[in-house]
Chain A
Amino acid sequence: MSYRVFFALTSAVALSACGLNSVPTAEENAKARWADVQNNYQRRADLIPNLVATVKAAGAQEKSILVEVTQARASASQVKISGADLTDPAKVAAYEQAQSGVTLSLQRLQEAYPELKSQGNYTTLMSQLEGTENRIVIARKDYNDAVQAYNTRIRTFPDAIGAKVFYGAKPMVPFQATTPGAETAPTVNFGNAS
């Protein structure tokens, strides 16, 4: 009788080192880092209407790039990803592609209005945008590190036991820097088949 209690207690202690706690902890950590990534992309999306308005208010010639930026923002905001989707490479890739469409269009907007560089509001928004892009890079790196830690944990002994037996844990998908060839793509496909 008391042997059984003893065995139950010792195996509970021993099992706790087999990924019972560390696997979900690592998973939650990766999900939290993903939330940071999304928040920073959201922050960028929030800046875009202001930016477009500022360009128009500055009396600059209206160019098609303004429409493109707005469209890229709109289609990117429709691609949402939850923590549970992070094991699905296709969903992560779709999100990444939508956001890099925004990145590209913003770069082209900047190139399209060199004359606005020293204009007060525009400079302010551009430095906010630049700061946001930096935060995105950091958040993405932190997420990737967390994913790597999680993936390593669920695949290596001893945590792999708990990960497989108790959680059926699947590896998460790291966030690629850019879609292959995205930097060289001259036009952006907004996914609306136009």
Chain B
Amino acid sequence: MLAGCGSSAPARPAAPAGYDFPALSGRVVDAANLLPASSRTTITQELAALEQRTGHQFVVVTVPGLGGHTIEDYGVTLGRTWGIGRKGVNDGVLLVVAPVERKVRIEVGYGLERALRDEEARTIIDSAILPAFRARDFPRGIAAGVDGVIREISPSERLAA
């Protein structure tokens, strides 16, 4: 009689409807084509070194469009869908650049919020990234943003700073 009570655990959908996410192809996902191959390689190496040193996963992504979402919403959903950062530690960081909407966002996992605070993220965006972006120099802005974030979330460099 109760045989019909089979457990039916619904699996969490990979990407929620309405979001058009690029594939997670590496540490630098340049879907908007803003970076020359050389800076892609350099940044990828930096990010790999960061993960080796600290365990934190940091992914840089440029997107051709946000599909009508706010960059905050897009960033969080993308980070969750991709599963950036270690489970349980929640120490992923995303740098999202949307050139068409002229938006930049640094998305920080709960586990790193103490190391990279809102106002620090804001300072990195305002003083390192945006000046270069305004000069249409995306590679320089992204590289500066990556350096700024790495400086904040690396314990040793934080002490030295």
Contacts and interface: CB of A to CB of B under 8 A. Distances in A.
Interface of A: 11, 14-15, 17-18, 22, 123-124, 127-128, 130-132, 134, 137-138, 157-158, 161
Interface string B1-23: 01111110100000000000000
Interface of B: 2-7, 9, 72-73, 76, 117-119, 121-122
Contact of A15 (B5, B6, B76): B5
Given A14-B2, A123-B119, A158-B6, 20 more contacts: A11-B2, A14-B5, A15-B2, A17-B5, A17-B7, A18-B2, A18-B5, A22-B7, A124-B119, A127-B121, A127-B122, A128-B117, A128-B119, A130-B118, A131-B117, A137-B73, A138-B76, A157-B4, A158-B2, A158-B5
17 contacts: A11-B2, A14-B2, A17-B6, A17-B7, A22-B7, A123-B122, A124-B119, A127-B118, A127-B122, A128-B119, A130-B118, A131-B117, A132-B118, A138-B76, A158-B2, A158-B4, A158-B5
Contacts of A130: 118
A164 B9 CA distance: 19
B118 to A, nearest CB: 3
Nearest to B105: A134
A51 to B, nearest CB: 13
A16 to B, nearest CB: 8
Contact of B118 (A18, A128, A137, A161): A128
B72 A14 contact: no
Contacts of A161: 5
B156 to A, nearest CB: 25
A142 to B, nearest CB: 10
